[in-house]
Structures are given as C-alpha cells and as structure tokens.
A and B are shown apart, each in its own frame.
Chain A
Amino acid sequence: MNLKLTVSHVCKSYDKKPILKDCSFLFEKSGTYILMGPNGSGKSTFFRICALLEDPDAGEVNYFSETNISKKDVELRRRITLLLPRVGVFNTTVFKNAAYGLKIRGMKGPEIREKVDKALEFVGMIHKTKQNALTLSSGEIQRLGIARAMVIEPEILFLDEPTASVDQENTEIIEDILLRMKKLGNSIVVIATHDRVQAERLADWLLLMKNGMIVSA
C-alpha cells in the first residue's frame, strides 16, 4: 500500500518570524502536486519539515499506509526523498553520485548498475557516467539530482524549485523529465515552483502557499 502524508496544523518560525501558520494538507492520491508561492513564502520550510529534516514548532507531520502511522525512523526516511534547490553533489563520479542511495541501502553491484544506468538514461546523463560530478553545469547537476532521487524509487518525492537556477534549455529538459515521470505515475510527487506556466503544465493538483498556509489554487 502506498505511503500517504498528512500535515496537520504545522507552525514554524525562524527568529520569531512565523513562516508556517497552522498549515494543514493531505497528500493521499498519487500524482503531481505543484506548490506555488513567491520566494520566502515557506515552501522550502514546508518541504524540509515534510522530509523530516526539521521538526515543526507545533502541529504534526505523519506518514501512513492504510490507517497505520509510520514510525519516524530511517526506514520511513528511505521511502521518501527531497531534492533541494542546491543539490549537494558528492566529490566523485556521476555514476557513484546516482548510486549513493542504493549503496547505503546495502544493494550490490549489478543491481545498482542496472537501476543507475536506467535513471541516468532517463535524465539524459548516461554519457557523463564517469565524469566528476563537481565539473557539471548547474542544469546537469539538477538532472543528476533527479536521477539520484529517482533511483531509490521513493513513494513520495519532493522537488524544491528544480529549475530555479538553470538555463532555459535545461529548464525544458527538466520539465520534460518531470512530465515523463508523471506518466509513470505511481507515486506522489510534490514540486515547489514560482513559475505559473510551468506549474500549469505539470500539475495534477495546483496548491498555493499563502500566509503560511496551503490552499488549493
């Protein structure tokens, strides 16, 4: 049974400045949710709390299958992932970067190779397998980030501004990747963006971060 997520009455402040105010939402159906909102509206904070990188000041974030709430441990963290706007690539080859999530899950060579090659092919990076990831362009780094996240087949995938810092050409490539991911359509994908056109192109559901709360657009 697929993982679902409830966010209930979450509040979060930084330096006494409230960012999220009684924010609630239910991610239940698989598909692509687009979270829109201007910079600083709290999208990233919301993602970091959902991805269990940070705790909310108040309220709860719960993952569940059927009616069972999942314990917030490493096992649960391994079923979800968040791609940050600045990807944070490791100082090694593109292949080893993409293989990271599988390797730490104890997967062995041939299986890793098959999955990683498939993911790198999907994002159009298969020809760069042996290149050091730190020498990639920002667009390529984003695509590697998507491959690195896809390879672990997360049940819920958060993408925080995946095209914010890339050129037009790579933005189109990434949007194409996201559209093809959507067709695979077996998981929940939540994408933050402030690009209205992109949002409408990609969304099954369009959400808006407004005054620290999520509302349906």
Chain B
Amino acid sequence: MDSFIEGFRKAFALIFYLDQELLSIIFLSLKVSGTALIIATAVGLPIGVLTGVRRFSGRGFIISLLNTFMGLPPVVVGLFLYLLLSRRGPLGFMALLYSPSAMIIAQSILAFPIVAALSHSAIIKIEPLIKQASLTLGATTFQVTTTIMREARYGIMSGVIAALGRVMAEVGAIIIVGGNIAGYTRVMTTTIALETDKGNFELALALGIILLMISLIINMILYLIQKKGLLQR
C-alpha cells in the first residue's frame, strides 16, 4: 500500500515539475496520433461521404468491411504491418520499421475505418429532403454533397473524435512497429507497458494519469458536440 501511495506521490511530482522525459513522450504521442488522425480523416471522410451519398455496386460490401475494420485488433494490424515493413518484407526497402512513421501508418489504419463508418452513418441519417431542397434551389452535384456534409457535421466530428480516442489509447500496434525506442518511438502507452514491466511505477502512473485526462478531455468534447447536434435537431 505504501509503494502504491509513494508511486502516486512521485507521479504527481513528475507532472508538476514538468519532467523533460515525460514532456517529450507526451509530445511524441500527440504528434503520432494527431498526424494519424489527419491522414485517417483525409482517407476515411471521402469514403464515408461517397458510401453515404452515392449508390453503386459493391457499396454494401465496403460498408460491411468498414464496420469490420472498426474493430480490428491493434496487435493484428501491428503484426501485418511488421511483416510488410520488416527488412525482408515487400516494403522493407522503405526502412520505416521502428520509426514514428511506421507508428503513424499503424494508427491511421486503425483510425480511418472509424472516421469512414461513423461519417457514413451520420450522412445517411440526413433526410432526403435536404438533398431535394438543395437541388430545387439550384445546387450542383458537388454543392449538394457539401450541403449534406455540413448537415452531418456533428456526426462526422463525433467520428473523428472517437477515432482520436482509439488511437491515443492504443498500444498493441505501435509497440510492434515502433519498437518502443527511448527518445525516438516511445509514446505514452508503450512507456506505461514497459515501465510497469520494469517495476518503475511512478513514470507509468504519471503517464497513466495524463492519458486519462486527455481521454476525459476528448470525451468531454465528444459529449459537447453530440449535445450541440441534438439541441439543434
């Protein structure tokens, strides 16, 4: 019990004195997950919009695939990516394994189905009336699509925030492809895993507390967005 309390005391000390190692780990986490989220949105949002507004053959298959990918086990993604990026793998020549880039790729793969599937479901909930109204007012096909996207904005934002929540908390994929190298690919979740193994609980706890706070902030933003969306309905 004493070591438990002592762990917390030291953890708070690390946070309050803005420990340099702690800061660099937090910064790398935000950089990797933030970049992954941008890529995931750039890829996922158009897929979500396309499957939401257009009817084409194979659409149902794509939607089922996205829904399946939403629940991809991170370690499996890590494993496949490892095989692709390892020196003997088909993408080995790119020398990306054990780099932040590999971690960004892994998290993008985990995040884009969430952005795509949740954008899709936000868009199909928009009434056909909106499409007809914009058409009767003289909108081009592109303008109709942007109008529908604007109407679905709260649902789309929820998807993006939910994806951020997933990648920030993720450890399985990035520990495999990032290698957890100190000062280079070590992020919050992988540090917690490592330091717990080593019995260094204070740094692990400090990071755990910060991760929880970030998660809380993300969820509060998500709640506010959803509340705003509901209020205006």
Contacts and interface: CB of A to CB of B under 8 A. Distances in A.
Interface of A: 51, 53, 74, 77-78, 81-84, 86-92, 100-101, 104-105, 132, 134, 148-149, 152
B202 to A, nearest CB: 48
A46 B83 CA distance: 61
Nearest to A100: B137
Contacts, number: 57
Interface of B: 127, 129-130, 132-140, 143, 147, 150-151, 232-233
Nearest to B141: A74
A57 B16 CA distance: 74
Contacts of A77: 135, 138
B132 A91 contact: no
A44 B133 CA distance: 14
17 contacts: A83-B136, A88-B127, A88-B132, A89-B133, A90-B130, A90-B133, A90-B147, A90-B150, A91-B151, A91-B232, A91-B233, A92-B150, A100-B134, A101-B137, A105-B138, A149-B136, A149-B137
Contacts of A90: 130, 133, 147, 150-151
B136 A74 contact: no
A82 B129 CA distance: 12
A81 B140 contact: no
A51 B136 contact: yes
A152 B138 CA distance: 9
Contact of B135 (A53, A132, A134): A53
B136 A53 contact: yes
Contact of A74 (B129, B138, B147, B232): B138
